């Protein structure tokens, strides 16, 4: 494990997190467009996963636990353990042996981490050469920037250092849902991962893909009602699937990042 001790959350914070997980599960069941969007992203994840022979596939910050429906064999974990998680794990202190893991999967997790460099140091340690970090995160682009700022509860700070610590060591009062939605965009879209790979030479950027246009915004996410009836939403989603990938750099709302551990 990392030399940094795992922070113990207060009972109040654990209860708040579990309540959010349950709220997200209810929103998921009530929103077919949201489920369809995530299904597409999980298919993309499945295509990018390394061979199982490299080691287990571990999802960090599994939250409501949707991945189990789409990626068989994925180990679900979270810093706050719910009944559907396989174990409790902090992304900043991974309880795995050196070179023992095939993949670390983070869906909407990186932008919540207080110490992203601690996570990446742990990723270098536990991943086997050829193992991968796979990230699906918000993308703050020319269009999505305004939507996230106006309609999403989480902050967007484009002036932040995406790899800087957000809290002082030992601060156990931080809500695990605290975030900066701009972190993945700053680290991987604007900088193309250059700072990360300078800090961690054994990590190689494989791909950065911008995706999910207005159809994602029209789902309403986990906190709002869908903006379109299901039938109209399906048409919009299908039309987006026909568009060239480069257009999502302008009007995309999500990004998918693949990073590989080198020998």
pLDDT tens profile 170-184: 555 677 778 889 999
Q: Is the pLDDT of residue 51 over 80?
A: yes
Q: For residues 40 and 88, what is the distance between their CA atoms, to the nearest angstrom?
A: 27
Identify the residue whose tokens are 């795995």: 96
Question: pLDDT band for position 9 (50/70/90)?
Answer: confident
Structural domains of the chain sorted by starting position, each given as residue range(s) with its CATH number in brackets = 11-261 (3.40.50.150)
- 158-180 b/e (C-beta count within 10 Å ≥ 16 → b): eeeebbeebeeeeeeeeebeebb
Residues 128-137: tens digit of each pLDDT: 999 999 999 9
Question: pLDDT band for position 5 (50/70/90)?
Answer: very low
Cβ proximity of 51 and 102 under 8 Å: yes
Please tell me the predicted confidence (pLDDT) of residue 2.
39
Average pLDDT rounded to a whole number, residues 246-251? 96
Cβ proximity of 59 and 74 under 8 Å: yes
Residues 69-122: tens digit of each pLDDT: 999 999 999 999 999 999 999 999 999 999 999 999 999 999 999 899 999 999
Q: What is the dihedral of CA 222, 225, 231, 233, to 10 degrees?
A: -60
Average pLDDT rounded to a whole number, residues 205-213? 97
């Amino acid at each position: 494990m990392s030399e940094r001790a795992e922070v113990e959350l207060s009972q109040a914070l654990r209860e708040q997190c579990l309540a959010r997980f349950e709220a997200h599960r209810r929103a998921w069941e009530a929103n077919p467009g949201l489920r369809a969007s995530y299904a597409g992203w999980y298919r993309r994840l499945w295509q990018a996963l390394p061979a199982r022979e490299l080691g287990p596939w571990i999802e960090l910050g599994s939250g409501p636990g949707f991945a189990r429906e789409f990626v068989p064999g994925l180990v679900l974990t979270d810093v706050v353990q719910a009944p559907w998680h396989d174990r409790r794990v902090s992304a900043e202190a991974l309880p795995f042996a050196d070179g023992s893991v095939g993949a670390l999967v983070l869906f909407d997790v990186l932008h919540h981490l207080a110490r992203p460099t601690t996570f990446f140091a742990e990723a270098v340690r536990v991943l086997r050469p050829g193992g991968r970090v796979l990230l699906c995160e918000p993308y703050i682009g020319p269009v999505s920037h305004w939507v996230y700022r106006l309609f999403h509860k989480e902050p967007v700070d484009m002036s932040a250092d995406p790899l800087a610590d957000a809290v002082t060591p030992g601060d156990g009062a931080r809500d695990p849902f605290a975030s900066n939605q701009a972190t993945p965009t700053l680290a991987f879209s604007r900088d193309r991962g250059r700072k990360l790979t300078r800090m961690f030479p054994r990590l190689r950027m494989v791909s950065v893909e911008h995706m999910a246009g207005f159809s994602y915004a029209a789902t309403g996410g986990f906190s709002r009602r869908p903006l379109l009836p299901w039938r109209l939403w399906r048409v919009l989603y299908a039309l987006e699937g026909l568009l060239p990938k480069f257009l999502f750099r302008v009007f995309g709302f999500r990004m998918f990042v693949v990073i590989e551990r080198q020998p």
